[in-house]
């Protein structure tokens, strides 16, 4: 991008509906990956018997590249996202993309999309996707021998419509978000499993999201991790196989320690969440690449609507959020080496 090229404003279109001009794709067949091809975004064609269309052999990632204050675009924690994609592929018995190959594809798409990366709070959302393509409807209990990996990108603004606003969550204590052990996999099947209870809660209770807490122990929402925050502490469920190990969660916990918060990773019960919300200084938030850190202003539980703290945007949540967004735009040092040039 030359200094004369205008920087696009953050898009107002809904998150995920705009795409840049360039993607990268590569095919796995005969036991080997081919050469990734960088080219225009265009439809793929699949045989109707493709494994993914029948047996759900699909996983993806979501990461962002941000335009820094110096106008340079940098990718945030690519290594962690590539590692998680490889883990998802492994659990789904899909061919595992080599670290270097996927990393290079992400960088090439980011570089090719440079002029389309908006200024903060916008960013470039990158969506690596892996699907099984074997043409075989008899392969219900067999892995796909062929696969397609691609990296798509799009300029994004806020994930939740209306910008930063306190979100309302319904607490669900019966249904889990997904099946045990599959929580760590970023597979489309997990999202569709959470869809029906989420739609029902939105319609019936007017909430934004559902906080899944089967048996009274908190997991996460449909697309973000959950944290309790106050002036001195950040409390969040300890990692287990039931929920996605968010890169944003990990980043925020490290920054929280740097900011002087005590971080507690342990079981978090619904009773504790409710008691926390009833405190005047209690804060709660959702965290994720898309959500960044979004404050939670209200919980709906057992038919009762409970404001979190004063129901507004908590100052400590915002302090934590700013530490992360400042890092995204290289406003200060990058002590953990999380930013990489494409």
Ligand X SMILES: Cc1ncc(COP(=O)(O)O)c(C=O)c1O
Residue whose tokens read 């969040």? 236
Cα–Cα nearest to 20, from 115, 101, 108:
115
- Which residue from 36, 62, 97, 237 is in contact with ligand X, where contact means CB under 6 A? 62
Range in contact with ligand X (rule: CB under 6 A) among 41-49, 100-108, 243-251, 332-340: 243-251
Size of the site for ligand X (CB under 6 A): 13
Collapse the DSSP code of 18 into the 3-class scheme (helix H, G, I; strand E, B; otherwise coil) and give the result. coil
- Which residue from 57, 129, 198, 248 is in contact with ligand X, where contact means CB under 6 A? 248
- Which residue from 288, 297, 314, 342 is in contact with ligand X, where contact means CB under 6 A? 288
Range in contact with ligand X (rule: CB under 6 A) among 119-127, 222-230, 253-261, 315-323: 222-230
Burial 310-339 (b: 16+ CB within 10 A, else e): ebebbebbbbbbebbbebbbbeeeeeeebb
Q: Greatest CA separation found in the chain?
A: 61
Kind and range of the H or E element at 275? helix 270-278
Q: Which is nearer to ligand X, 107 or 186 (CB)?
A: 186
- Which residue from 118, 237, 246, 342 is in contact with ligand X, where contact means CB under 6 A? 246
The reply to whether 128 sits near ligand X by the rule CB under 6 A is: no
- Which residue from 225, 236, 242, 317 is in contact with ligand X, where contact means CB under 6 A? 225
- Which are the contacts of 146, defined by CB distance < 8 A and separation ≥ 6? 27, 28, 29, 132, 133, 134
Range in contact with ligand X (rule: CB under 6 A) among 46-54, 91-99, 276-284, 288-296: 288-296
Q: What DSSP assignment string belongs to 210-252?
A: EEE-GGGB--B-SS-EEEEE-SSEEEEPPP-TTS---HHHHHH
The reply to whether 223 sits near ligand X by the rule CB under 6 A is: yes
CB of 254 to ligand X, least distance (A): 13
CB of 46 to ligand X, least distance (A): 24
CB of 30 to ligand X, least distance (A): 33
Q: Which is nearer to ligand X, 122 or 246 (CB)?
A: 246
- Which residue from 75, 92, 168, 247 is in contact with ligand X, where contact means CB under 6 A? 247
Binding site for ligand X (CB under 6 A): 62, 220, 223-225, 244, 246-249, 288-290
């Amino acid at each position: 991008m030359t200094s004369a090229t205008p920087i696009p404003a953050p898009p107002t279109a809904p998150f995920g509906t705009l795409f840049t001009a360039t993607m990268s794709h590569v095919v796995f067949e005969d036991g080997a990956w081919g050469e990734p091809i960088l080219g225009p975004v265009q439809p793929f064609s699949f045989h109707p018997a493709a494994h993914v269309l029948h047996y759900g052999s699909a996983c993806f990632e979501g990461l962002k590249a941000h335009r820094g204050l110096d106008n340079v675009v940098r990718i945030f924690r690519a290594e962690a996202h590539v590692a998680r994609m490889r883990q998802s592929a492994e659990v789904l018995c899909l061919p595992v993309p080599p670290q270097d190959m996927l990393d290079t594809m992400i960088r090439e798409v980011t570089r090719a999309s440079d002029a389309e990366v908006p200024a903060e709070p916008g960013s470039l959302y990158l969506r690596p996707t892996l699907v099984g393509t074997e043409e075989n409807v008899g392969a219900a209990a067999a892995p796909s021998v062929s696969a397609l990996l691609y990296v798509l990108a799009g300029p994004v603004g806020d994930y939740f419509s209306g910008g930063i606003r306190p979100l309302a969550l319904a607490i669900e204590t019966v249904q889990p978000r997904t099946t045990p052990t599959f929580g760590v996999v970023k597979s489309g099947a997990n999202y569709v499993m959470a869809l029906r209870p989420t739609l029902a809660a939105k319609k019936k209770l007017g909430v934004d999201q559902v906080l899944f807490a089967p048996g009274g122990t908190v997991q996460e929402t449909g697309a973000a991790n959950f944290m309790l925050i106050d002036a001195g502490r950040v409390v969040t469920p300890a990692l287990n196989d039931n929920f996605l190990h968010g890169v944003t969660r990990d980043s925020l916990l490290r920054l929280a320690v740097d900011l002087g918060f005590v971080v507690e990773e342990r079981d978090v019960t619904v009773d504790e969440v409710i008691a926390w919300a009833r405190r005047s200084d209690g804060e709660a938030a959702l965290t994720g690449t898309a959500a960044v850190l979004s404050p939670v202003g209200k919980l709906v539980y057992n038919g009762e609507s409970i404001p979190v703290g004063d129901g507004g945007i908590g100052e400590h949540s915002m302090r934590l959020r700013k530490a992360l967004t400042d890092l995204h735009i290289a406003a200060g040092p990058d002590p953990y080496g999380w930013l990489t040039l494409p």
